[in-house]
Structure 1
Amino acid sequence: MRITASFILLFQLAIMQVAVSQQLVEKTQGTSEFSVTKSFSEIKANADYYEPYQAREFKKPNPVVYHPEFEINPKEVVFMENLQSAPVIKTNREVSPMPDTTFLGLYDSGNSIPPDVNGAPGPDHLMVTLNTEVRIQDRVGNALSTMSLGMFWNDLPGGSTFDPKILYDAHENRWIFVTCSSSEVGSSRLYLGVTESSDPTGVWHLYSFITDPQSITWFDYPSMGFNDKWIAVGGNMFGGDFYSTMWVFDKHAMYDGVASVPYTRFATNQGFTLVPAITFDQTEENMYIVSSANSNQGGNGYISLFKVTGPTASPSFSKVGDIGTPNPWAGSAGNNGDFLPQLGSSQKINSVDHRMENVIFRNGKIWAVHHVFLPASNPQRTAVQWWELSPAGEILQRGRIDDPSNLMSYAFPTIAVNDFEDITIGHGSFSSQQYASAAYSFRFHNDEPNTMRDPYTYKNGLASYYKTFGGGRNRWGDYTATMLDPINGKDFWVLQEYAELPSGGDRWATQWARIRTPFAPQSDFEANEVLIPLGENIRFTDLSEGVPQQWEWNFEGAEPAQSNEQFPSGITYNTEGTFGVSLTSSNDFGTNTLTKPAYITVSATLLPEVAFEADKPLICVGGAVKFTDKSNYMPREWEWSFVPATLTFVNGTDAFSQNPEVVFDEAATYSVSLKATNLNGSSTETYFDMITVGGLSLPYTEYFDGEDFNAGGWSVENPDDDVTWEIVTVGGLEGVSTAASVDFFHYFAIGQRDRLISPSFNLRNYENVNLSFRHAYAARRAQFADSLIVYISDNCGENWTRLFADAENGNGNFATHPLVEGFVPENVWDWCGVEWGADCKTFNLNEWIGKTDVKIAFETYSFYGNPIYITDVELGPTVGIETAGENSQLLVSPNPATELLVIEDAAAQKINKLMIVNTLGQVVYRLENTGLSRITINVKEMPAGIYLVEATVGAQQNLRKLVIN
């Protein structure tokens, strides 16, 4: 709950009574304010560019504290639990199962309390969405991408983001992401984003919605659910009025990425924090909504049930009724909510209030969860209270995760339910004997009704915690995440907050846990090899779902023929043929057998299929290469050989190692052979000219048209880890569409150097060697200029000699285009050697002839100008981009031309090659080996426009601008 420093009025509403006569629902409809479709790579690039220069926003809790209680009308009570059916707390219960895995979500970045913990699993990724940052991880915890929450939504109008929540729609394979924008009246927005697929690193459709068109209130604390028709988001409206809203969006319109998404907005004073259900039943047309109502009215506690019904485009909102229990609770406690105990400090942790946290609809039933304060008359602890309801409001189950001794408190719960109706509730764990910790409680569907197993603390807190940013509350939560695994629909993921070790102040952090759910096993397995030599042994891996406890393997034709291990190894096949394998896996819930007939094939003639790879194909003399054997069919022995044999094995390897590491001692091209032997015999494979040592031979040309710099053997030195060399698309050159570039325009760090380094070259056995390249650049400011420096090294980059350095002085000495704000080369005269500006650069390298391990480097010095572009890098005996200026002998007339065009050399030399190129770099006329010094062309049919004439006379390339009317 947010989180703005600008809201300084402290208004506490401890009890809010809403009379029955005032209960109203107002319905309005509209469409999204703004939408944009962006790839995640674009969002990330935008974040990487802007984030270093964004002032870090400190997010403080909203000082307005609301603990509303709603007067219950007995006529609206649809179900009242009786004392006899209320759950009894047992003292000795089984502890919830341990997690299968647990790892970090995100650390405290130091600029937000509370973090508003949320996250969700997908089939291939995890997403963590906090007030501070958004992180995408793989399913074993590796961080794939991290950015600030605000930068994720940066393409939408508004800003000042808070209260993010994320869900994964497993039926449609989409991510759904909601966030609030601005806690100020007049600028409050709701952000909503959905993916185009199951991949959160793919395309996102992002939408913004004005939360109050009348600019009286602002929107806070979103609660999100969905069904087959709608995405629903509930929230609380504060400011000049107080009420709750339920937003209903056309889910498939949003999934389709339509530009203007319709919505229906229901405003009501019938409840606080209306929580829509995450609906797993695809045939359920209604959207059910639950909220806390009154913690203790007449000795009873109440929650309220609502629903949205009707057509997708014209839904209706109604109250089903209030649901009561004779086991009341308090709705809040403590000093402004600071109530939860912790080890090592008398400062309490804020517990907020008894609002509903999340709701699930599954198998025709409704599950909901919140924490409550007990005992109702004088709270000493918090407990987690969960509900199972029918759509009519009948209580099917109600339970509490509670410690009546008052030692432990449990708070900020969320619930998930699988198709068996097993339940996991993730929650925080608090005690004077424990630092604030991450925990969960589990329930098997056949456990005793109304009960949960004892909590399992999967991440213990590490220190006491107190952080208020100068406010009056030590905030925690406000919420957490417990989700179903979309891969099998049975396992659970929990993301909880815990107290980390302090670093520059007290810190929170978040931790994932995955809980595998036992159920009747579904057997599956794999072998490490299925086609093997005679007499070989293999191993098997159990892949069964359902957490089996026993395994019975049968291996036809093998020794041993049976095993009870989960992962049997050393299974030997001494007879040729094809054999089946079966696995029977069992647990308390059942037994399942899988047989794979003809799974293993044993051959007495099967020889190794030899294959191998090297980590580097090009190195300098004295460089090391690691070789990796990739041979099939289970070789046991290896023998490597090299031609020439001038090399040294290092790091304990030799010619008979499976994966040797080799230092090459001579400038040469090496061929590599591997002889691999299995139980049946040997095979040999040779890769000729596999490793080049000492440098590439000439001639050499680089257009930077590979997937990245590494593909061409180039490398980048980026000392400040900021804007640097990249491969970009350019125009204006025939057959060339890419260049290496540094974007000075978006490089705010002045005076930084970035170096693009070539692969090594071997300059032996040449009489003449030149280096040339094409460049394009336009200055952005007359008084400032970016620089380009060119270096050469003859010892693999250990030492460098400067070949060239220049910066634009305003006279076209280096720039290829006049002064301009923003520059990308689009036509041929944007490049060097044409019309305005500098010639292309050519350097003689004869001083380095006979050397090996020669490298070239292009270094930039940033001064906040336009991007620089380099392409067509050439090394060779006769390279050089020769250009002709105003003193050229090439004549083009008339110019402008309309019909006949005459091109001739004033000295009557033969024109060897002639091309006319349009502004897109396309050749519209070509003539070679003409033997003529004067050529006449009919240009009447050519479209009017600007062209470039390229004529080669002798060894000189002449360029002329041509206008056709």
Structure 2
Amino acid sequence: MKSLTIAFLVFFFLLTNTYAQKYEAEKGKAHKQARVSILSKTQIEPDRTVFKRPNKNWKPENWSFSKTNIIYQEESKANAKESYGPRINSPVPDTSFTGLIDNGTSIPPDVNGAAGPNHLMQTLNPQVRITDKAGIDLFTTSLSNWWEPMPGNGGTFDPKIVYDPYEDRCIMITPSGSTSTTSRIYVAVSTTSNPLDYWNYYWFDTDTDNILWFDYPNLGFNKKWISIGGIMRNSAFEAVEFVVFTLDKNAAFNGDEDISLNKFTTGLGSAIVPAFTYDDDEENLYLISTGDGNDNGSGYINLFTLSGTAEDPVFELEGSIGIPEPWENWSYENHGDFLPQLGSSEKLNSVDARMHTMIFRNNKLWAVHHIYLPADDPQYTAIQWWNLDTNGVILERGRIEDESQEYSYAFPSIAVNANEDVLIGHGVFSENIYASAGYSYKDHIDDAGSMRDVYIYKEGLSSYYKTYGGDRNRWGDYSSVSVDPVEDIDFWAVHEYAETATGNSIWGTYWAFVKPSFIPVVDFEANEILIPTGEAIDFSDLSLGVPTNWEWSFEGGTPATSNMQNPEGILFDQEGSFDITLIASNSLGSDTLTKEDYISTSSSILPEVDFTSDITAVCTGKEVKFTDLSEYSPINWEWQFDPSSVTFINGTDEYSQNPEVVFNEANLYSVTLTVWNLNGSSSVTKFDMISAGGYTLPYIESFEEETYKPDDWLIENPDESVTWELENIGGTSPGNQAMGMQFQSYLIGKYDRLISPPLNFTGSADVILDLQHAYANKYMPISDSLNIYISPDCGLTWERVFTAGEDGNGSFATHELTDDFWPEISSDWCGEGWGADCISLNLDNWDFMHDIQIAFETYSSIGNPLFIDNISVSTTLSTDEKIKNENEILAFPNPSNGSISVKIPENTKVDELLLINKLGQIVLRKNIDPNQRLINIEEDASRSKGTYLLVVKGPEISKNIKVVLF
């Protein structure tokens, strides 16, 4: 490693004679294309006939630096090498597992990934995958399908991903199109920390003059911008200029329609890399590129800054930084196939010495790339890393290299945690091993400029050669390491390795989770801290720093001590409060924590009962999952339902802790849970908790936060693009939210449905559906339209009951023709001002039925947005009111699941009731007291489902009523 003697006088002279060079911005907009639910996407494989083929005309950049603006020049010294004592191994992974594997559709894979609080996301040329942190696949699809809503989709490549821990969002970018007329960049930002939720999708043209196209994206961010650096190429694949784009990050996170875009170009250096900025107060965004690796015995890099506002950034070259240890920027032999491997004379392509990653942290810049050594006759590659201050002064730097030239290291990425521990992920190559995945670690207490020994966490399994007709044996082009955002300490690395060949060569990818060691910081928890006397509990170690030894002391516990990391079954058989102590240690030291009176025992405390369900309005015959939330050491459970007509499924019963239950009749069910612990039992009843058959009437949905339950509503979005969303509006009461469908950035002829929760019309007659809508036509005679459907069987079948589009006379629109419409005042809505009345539909064909759902379906003609609000399903007469007011014989409910009530008016006398099936057979004959006003026909399992004739006879009447049993 090189020493870092600072040439103070030379530096002062250069600093006082340099200046920042500003670049003019080309302004534009990035356009929002869609808000996409990831789990609504199809998980598909890429088209195996489509390959990312290496370009035969590829050439390296013309590396350059600013000779007139050198902001820092490190001085050479005679004894450049320093000794750092015995070599220390990089830490072994805590866990590792396989990532995406070659499916024969792309070389190279362009490995990239990021860690969030609960997920890992991997973005490769052929596929995108989201897993949990154990590597369990939660979602996988092709890269092209991920970007399915975007214009011009089909030629996507080089995806990159990062997690922003300050906004708890993922940011993903991907270029599309390799010609000047098709070149775009797609940008997606997640709406939450969970990448399986919704994302906002944006796109922009990379060259509005259609002269050049964009290649090799580099992603960065700070509190103001998403920044993308890269290369603008001509049709001959030559690098013409280097480009930096900025997008307003907060506007993208907010889901704004069109967001500010700025483009800067320079001919200096090579592909520019913006920093991942891990400081939410930092105003500037720093960028870096590789310059000339060997100019009169010195190598150079270039430092840039972005300053200013989100919409009006200023892009400047701060200057170039030189060191007296030159390198070569690429290998001129064999089109860059330079990296050795076991079992083949064919070498792997190493691309060139462009920068790969930069991190801003604690007002320092960390950057990494691989280089070719020796500079005058390259024989191997090494990793070169930099630690700079924001003025370009080198604080420390180093190389990961094997001076014996047996091993080469390439395609690095760098991550820096809160302690300034550093992990550099990279590939490992040699004639003695197959292409492997590795990393090198530097602890914050290690010597400046040092790096611990390389650790290979996934050895290659076979030699590799695959060109798809090109002239390069492609590998890389990059790797990815990131800091786990949960503690901001641990690292995740993902890289490529050579898998076992099965006829054709195969690449694979592999994840590693690395926990740095330091003096432990102790913490722990128990699964319960207030328990019945005589109960046993479990303890979990939460210490940081990778402890290797644990000493537990349990006051009042049996056993009283333990050296397990996570001791279980510690018994507390005396009443009182007790201290718990943990000493955690490793080779670096120890830490002690005592939590006083942490465990309390009681001989009288009973369970505190609570529970929940995954759904409250459910179709009959559908399952509901209940979850016990009871506290204070429950040991037994008993569930009761009123009415009792339920069926337990999937091996559960009324004594299960978390039963799964089917509700067999349309009714309001009350649920009682009784829970026991060692001291006794407690019960809780939640009355009318489950609406089986659907919500009873009246049902009102205003889409306001206080009442709206998103899980109740289903959105069908067949093309996974624009669809129904909750929007902020004005003009209706209560609140300021409505459901909206934005047609203006959609396609013609697309259908989307918003489907209500199940509704129960049992006991209701003359049901009415009312709602408010707002819409203005954009083009005549074309109109977007709204269809309304009713399902009597929870979505199995549908019947359309309403369809409307604007005719130019206000038949559906609520506002005059306009290019831009968004409801703000009451006259923008139906029933007021210009245009249509509000929608009111008679649903009496479905009176007395349950498992009803209502679908609101839009048909797109690229017009203005359509909004609906204040949906009301009610009845003018309930069954009780109808019985009271109508002077006629009435059977209800009808249809029925078996039990029927027959109402006899006061002035009518009947003495016989018959129930006749379709064959004319009398299946029930009942004599009636002439004074009886309400007759109940009980359910009889021998009666088959179908249509029956109910005959009610009396001295002066004979009434026939058709009834349906189901």
Q: TM-score range by the shorter chain?
A: 0.5 to 0.7
The equivalences for 1:3-82 within 5 A come to 27-29=20-22, 32-34=25-27, 63-66=58-61, 68=63, 78-80=74-76, 82=78
Deviates more, 1:327-336 or 1:557-566: 327-336
1:157-192 Cα offsets, whole Å, 9 max, x none, are: xx9998887778989999999999999999999999
2:611 match: 612
Q: Secondary structure at the match of 1:336?
A: helix
Q: Distance in 2 between matches of 1:546 and 1:176?
A: 30
2:624 match: 625
Q: Does 1:770 align with 2:764?
A: no
Q: CA deviation at 1:864?
A: 6.4
Q: CA deviation at 1:518?
A: 0.5
Q: Secondary structure at the match of 1:674?
A: strand
The equivalences for 1:487-886 within 5 A come to 488=487, 490-498=489-497, 512-705=511-704, 711=710, 713-718=712-717, 721=720, 723-728=722-727, 735=734, 748=747, 750=749, 752=751, 754=753, 756-763=755-762, 765-766=763-764, 768-774=765-771, 776=773, 782=781, 786=785, 788=787, 790-793=789-792, 795-798=793-796, 800=797, 802=799, 804=801, 806=803, 810=807, 815-816=812-813, 820=817, 831=830, 840-843=839-842, 845=844, 848-858=846-856, 872-878=871-877
Q: Is the 8 A contact 1:787 1:862 kept in 2?
A: no
The structure with higher relative contact order (CA 8 Å, sep 6+) is 2
1:480 match: 479
Q: CA deviation at 1:551?
A: 0.3
1:96 match: 90
Q: Distance in 2 between matches of 1:265 and 1:37?
A: 15
Q: Is the 8 A contact 1:295 1:329 kept in 2?
A: yes
Deviates more, 1:219-228 or 1:691-700: 219-228
Distance 1:246 1:587, change over 3 A: farther
Q: Distance in 2 between matches of 1:565 and 1:346?
A: 51
Q: Secondary structure at the match of 2:759?
A: coil
Q: CA deviation at 1:591?
A: 0.7
For structure 1, which runs of at least 5 residues remain unmatched after alignment?
A: 1-23, 880-965
TM norm structure 2: 0.66
Q: Distance in 2 between matches of 1:789 and 1:560?
A: 67
Q: CA deviation at 1:594?
A: 0.9
Give the counterpart letter for 1:65 in structure 2. Answer: P
Distance 1:828 1:702, change over 3 A: same
Give the counterpart letter for 1:804 in structure 2. Answer: V
Give the counterpart letter for 2:495 in structure 1. Answer: Q
Q: Distance in 1 between matches of 2:851 and 2:190?
A: 48
Q: Distance in 1 between matches of 2:733 and 2:443?
A: 68
Q: Distance in 2 between matches of 1:835 and 1:284?
A: 51
Give the counterpart letter for 1:64 in structure 2. Answer: K
- In percent, how many aligned pairs have the same letter? 40
Q: Distance in 2 between matches of 1:866 and 1:248?
A: 31
Q: Distance in 2 between matches of 1:559 and 1:435?
A: 53
Deviates more, 1:100-109 or 1:598-607: 100-109
Q: Is the 8 A contact 2:756 2:853 kept in 1?
A: yes
Q: Is the 8 A contact 1:227 1:280 kept in 2?
A: yes
1:614-634 Cα offsets, whole Å, 9 max, x none, are: 233233444433222111111
Q: Is the 8 A contact 1:811 1:837 kept in 2?
A: no
Q: Distance in 1 between matches of 2:780 and 2:759?
A: 36
Q: Is the 8 A contact 2:366 2:387 kept in 1?
A: yes
Q: Distance in 2 between matches of 1:633 and 1:329?
A: 67
Q: Secondary structure at the match of 1:64?
A: coil
1:514-546 Cα offsets, whole Å, 9 max, x none, are: 311001111111111111111111111101000
Give the counterpart letter for 2:400 in structure 1. Answer: R
Distance 1:727 1:383, change over 3 A: closer
Q: CA deviation at 1:559?
A: 1.1
Q: Distance in 1 between matches of 2:805 and 2:454?
A: 69
Q: Distance in 1 between matches of 2:316 and 2:782?
A: 65
For structure 2, which runs of at least 5 residues remain unmatched after alignment?
A: 1-16, 879-966
Q: Secondary structure at the match of 1:676?
A: strand
Q: Distance in 2 between matches of 1:702 and 1:362?
A: 48
Q: Distance in 1 between matches of 2:553 and 2:134?
A: 32
Q: Is the 8 A contact 1:419 1:490 kept in 2?
A: yes
Give the counterpart letter for 2:634 in structure 1. Answer: P
Q: Is the 8 A contact 1:709 1:715 kept in 2?
A: no
Q: Is the 8 A contact 2:60 2:352 kept in 1?
A: no
Distance 1:266 1:804, change over 3 A: closer
Q: CA deviation at 1:60?
A: 6.7
Distance 1:658 1:809, change over 3 A: closer
Give the counterpart letter for 2:76 in structure 1. Answer: M
Tell me the matched-pair count: 840
Q: Is the 8 A contact 1:415 1:423 kept in 2?
A: yes
Q: Is the 8 A contact 1:716 1:756 kept in 2?
A: yes
1:835-884 Cα offsets, whole Å, 9 max, x none, are: 766884433526x55544444455566676766655534231449xxxxx
Q: Distance in 1 between matches of 2:859 and 2:222?
A: 55
Distance 1:377 1:652, change over 3 A: same
Q: CA deviation at 1:613?
A: 1.7
Q: Is the 8 A contact 1:87 1:398 kept in 2?
A: no
Q: CA deviation at 1:638?
A: 1.5
1:549-570 Cα offsets, whole Å, 9 max, x none, are: 0000111111111110000111
Deviates more, 1:517-526 or 1:103-112: 103-112
Q: Is the 8 A contact 2:827 2:833 kept in 1?
A: yes
Q: Secondary structure at the match of 1:442?
A: strand
Distance 1:807 1:170, change over 3 A: closer
Q: Distance in 2 between matches of 1:252 and 1:646?
A: 54
Q: CA deviation at 1:783?
A: 7.3
Give the counterpart letter for 2:92 in structure 1. Answer: M
Distance 1:135 1:469, change over 3 A: same
Give the counterpart letter for 2:523 in structure 1. Answer: D
Q: 2:81 aligns with which of 78, 85, 91?
A: 85
Q: CA deviation at 1:238?
A: 7.9
1:920 match: none
Q: CA deviation at 1:382?
A: 3.1
Q: CA deviation at 1:598?
A: 1.4
Q: Is the 8 A contact 1:610 1:632 kept in 2?
A: yes
Q: CA deviation at 1:124?
A: 7.6
1:116-164 Cα offsets, whole Å, 9 max, x none, are: 5556657788777778999998877787999989999x999xx999888
Q: Is the 8 A contact 1:34 1:209 kept in 2?
A: no
1:402 match: 402
CA-based RMSD of the aligned residues comes to 6.6
Distance 1:484 1:713, change over 3 A: closer
Distance 1:760 1:155, change over 3 A: closer
Q: CA deviation at 1:756?
A: 2.5
